[in-house]
Amino acid sequence: MNSSRLPAAEFEVEEVGRAVHSDDVDGQLEPDAGMLQILSADGTMAGGLTAEIAGSTVDFSPYLSASDPAHLRSLYRDMFMIRRFDQESTALQRQGQLALWVPLTGQEAAQIGSGRALEPQDYAFPTYREHGVALTRGVELPDILRLFRGVTNGGWDPRERNFHLYTLVLAAQSLHAVGYAMGMQRDQLADPSLPPAASIAYFGDGASSEGDIHESMVFAASFNAPVVFFCQNNQWAISVPSSVQTRVPLAQRAEGYGFPGIRVDGNDVVAVEAVTRWALEHARSGQGPVLIEAYTYRMSAHTTADDPTKYRLSRDEQEWQPRDPLARLEVYLRSAGMADDTFFEELGAEARAMATDLRQAVLSMTAPELADRFAAVYAEPHPLVQEELRFFQEYEAGFADEVKHA
Amino acid sequence: MATMTIAKAINEGLRASLASDPKTLLMGEDIGELGGVYRVTDGLKRDFGALRVVDSPLAESGIIGTAIGLALRGYRPICEIQFDGFVFPGFNQITTQLAKMRTRSDGMLSAPVVIRIPYGGGIGSVEHHSESPEALFAHTAGLRIITPSNPQDAYWMIQQAVTCEDPVIVFEPKRRYWLKGEVDTTAPAGDPFSAHVLRRGTDATVVAYGPLVPVALAAAAAAEEDGRSIEVIDLRSISPIDFDTVTESVTRTGRLIVAHEAPTFGGIGGEIAARISERAFLSLESPVIRVGGFHMPYPVARVEEQYLPDIDRILEALDRAFAY
Distances in whole angstroms, Cα of residue A211 to Cα of each of A154, A202, B30, B65: 25, 15, 21, 12
Query: Do A215 and A336 fall into the same domain?
Result: yes
- Distances B155 to A17, A271, B15, B184, B286 between C-alpha atoms, Å: 54, 55, 10, 9, 37
Q: Is residue A183 part of a domain?
A: yes
Beta bridge partners of A234: none
* pLDDT attached to residue A3: 39
- Using a CB-CB cut-off of 8 Å, the residues of chain B touching A373 are 103
For residue A13, being part of any structural domain is answered with yes
Span B191-214, pLDDT tens digits? 999 999 999 999 999 999 999 999
Three-state DSSP at B224 gives helix
B69 touching A (Cβ < 8 Å): yes
Same domain, A172 and A119: yes
Contact status, residue A152 vs residue A362, Cβ threshold 8 Å: no
Q: Using alpha carbons, select from A150, A87, A143, A124 the residue that is nearest to residue A326.
A: A87
On whether the CB atoms of residues B195 and A383 are closer than 8 A, the answer is no
d(CA B205, CA B220): 9
Q: Which amino acid is at A337?
A: G
pLDDT in tens, A145-174: 999 999 999 999 999 999 999 999 999 999
Alpha carbon distance A134, A155 (integer Å): 11
Given its phi and psi angles, is residue B141 left (phi above 0), alpha (psi -120 to 50 degrees) or beta?
Answer: beta
Say whether A384 and B241 touch across the interface (CB within 8 A).
yes
Radius of gyration (C-alpha) of chain B in whole angstroms: 19
Nearest chain A residue to B22 by CA: give it: A190
Give the Cα separation of A109 and A324 in Å (integer).
Answer: 9
SS3 A229: strand
Whether A87 is in a domain gets the answer yes
Rounded mean pLDDT, A49-65: 92
**In this complex, do B59 and A215 lie within 8 Å of one another by their Cβ atoms?**
yes
CA-nearest of B223, B225, B229, B224 to B204 is B229
Residue B75 in contact with partner chain A when CB distance is under 8 A = yes
Structural domain total, chain A: 2
Same domain, A255 and A300: yes
Please check whether residues A334 and A392 belong to one and the same domain.
no
Closest chain B residue by Cα to residue A163: B72
Residues A393, A313, single domain; the answer is no
A148 Cα distance to chain centroid? 17
Whether the Cβ atoms of residue A76 and residue A329 lie closer than 8 Å to each other: yes
Which domain does A378 fall in, by range?
372-405
Q: Among B62, B100, B103, select the one facing A216 at the smallest CB separation.
A: B62
- Whether A249 and A393 map to the same domain: the answer is no
Q: Is B188 on the interface with A (CB under 8 A)?
A: no
Q: Do A123 and A183 fall within a single domain? A: yes
The predicted pLDDT at position B189 comes to 77
Tell me what the mean pLDDT of segment B75-86 comes to: 98
- What is the structure's pLDDT at A20? 37
Would A273 be classed as within a structural domain?
A: yes
Q: What ipTM score was computed for the predicted complex, to two decimals?
A: 0.97
| Number of H-type helices and E-type strands within chain A | 14, 9
pLDDT score, position B57: 98
pTM for the whole structure: 0.94
Question: Has residue B37 got a pLDDT over 80?
Answer: yes
Q: Do the strands B196-199 and B230-234 form a parallel or antiparallel pair, or are they unpaired?
A: antiparallel
Closest CB from A152, A177, A379 relative to B110 = A379
Long-range contacts of B17-24 (CB under 8 A, 24+ apart): B17/B76, B17/B78, B17/B158, B17/B159, B17/B162, B17/B163, B18/B44, B18/B48, B18/B52, B18/B53, B21/B76, B21/B162, B21/B163, B22/A190, B23/B74, B23/B75, B23/B76, B24/B52, B24/B75, B24/B76, B24/B77, B24/B78, B24/B162
- The neighbouring-strand residues paired with B79 are B27, B115
pLDDT for the residue A246: 95
| Max intra-chain CA distance, chain B | 59
Within a domain: residue A2? no
Are A294 and A325 spatial neighbours (Cβ–Cβ below 8 Å)?
no
Give the whole-angstrom CA distance, residue B15 versus residue A127.
Answer: 37
Count CB atoms within 10 A of the CB of residue B219. 28
**Tens digit of pLDDT for each residue in A289-339?**
999 999 999 999 999 999 999 999 888 889 999 999 999 999 999 999 999
Residues A394 and A262 in one domain: no
CATH number for position A137: 3.40.50.970
Which residue type occupies B10? I
Identify the pLDDT of residue B188.
74
Residue A104 falls within a domain, yes or no? yes
Task: Tell me: do A219 and A285 sit in the same domain.
Answer: yes
Q: Clarify whether residues A397 and A266 are in a common domain.
A: no
Name the strands in the sheet holding B53-55, side by side, starting at the edge strand that comes first in the sequence: B53-55, B24-28, B76-80, B114-119, B168-173, B144-146, B237-239
Distance set, CA B204 to CA A82, A347, B49, B149, B163 (Å): 67, 78, 50, 21, 36
Is residue A26 in a domain?
A: yes
Q: Same domain for A288 and A392?
A: no
**Residue A231 covered by a domain:** yes
Q: What are the backbone angles phi and psi of residue A59, rounded to the nearest 5°?
A: -100, 120
- Are A302 and A213 in a shared domain? yes
